[in-house]
Amino acid sequence: MFTGIITDVGTVLAVEQQGDLRARIGTAYDIDGIDIGASIACNGVCLTVVALGRDPQNWFDVQISAETVNLTNIGRQGWRVGTPLNLERALKVGDELGGHIVSGHVDGVADLIEMRDEGDSTRMLFRAPETLARFIAPKGSVALNGTSLTVNEVDGVTFGINVIPHTKTVTTWANVAVGDGINLEIDTMARYVARLREWE
């Protein structure tokens, strides 16, 4: 489990197709504190660490299944050498829950369709897949590229969020552009509430 609070911006160092896709990600994390088999959210995708090293910088390797590639923006935009990634270590008991509960299981890809400055913040408008739009509510939470964000408004399949300057500084959000596909994970509570209503 994660919180959607990004703690490092990593960089893709290498990508190789080995049956599954394998990626090497450079990080500022202390790899002495990472175990093989640990989970790290990479742009909101929960991935398992399969190797670690320090040459030329701290890095970890992950394997990415074809299903994950197809369900996320990895398949649409691809990870290339130099691609920046929002990273978050798995939640530990006693950690501060600063965002919301995030599983790292991306539900789909939302399209960034509009972006404009509002004061020092940036207002962004997204189009969600129709099957997911009903789970998104005003003042609710979503995880976008792994970042816990508050929904400002919803209109059909579109929804808006604000990104404050701090968030742009410590994540990859300063690098996005209209037309980008963004990994979307709906709020876990919304998913369960909708499922319970099906039984009413």
* pLDDT tens readout for residues 135-190: 999 999 999 999 999 999 999 999 999 999 999 999 999 999 999 999 999 987 77
pLDDT at residue number 189:
77
Residue 92 has pLDDT above 90, yes or no: no
Q: Is residue 185 part of a domain?
A: yes
Q: Is residue 82 part of a domain?
A: yes
pLDDT at residue number 117:
95
Task: Give the domain extent around 66.
Answer: 8-89
Q: How far apart are CA 19 and CA 124, in angstroms?
A: 37
Give the chain's domain count: 2
Q: pTM of the full predicted structure? A: 0.93
Q: Is residue 1 part of a domain?
A: no
Give per-residue pLDDT as tens, 111-128.
Answer: 999 999 999 999 999 999
Count of helices and strands (H, E) across the chain: 5, 12
Same domain, 17 and 61: yes
Average pLDDT, the chain: 93
pLDDT at residue number 200:
66
pLDDT at residue number 96:
78
CB-CB contact of 25 with 85 (8 Å): yes
Same domain, 189 and 125: yes
Same domain, 115 and 85: no
Give the residue among 172, 21, 148 at the shortest CA–CA distance from 84.
Answer: 172
Question: Does a cis peptide bond (omega within 30 degrees of 0) precede residue 56?
Answer: yes
Same domain, 122 and 58: no
Q: How far apart are CA 86 and CA 98, in angstroms?
A: 16
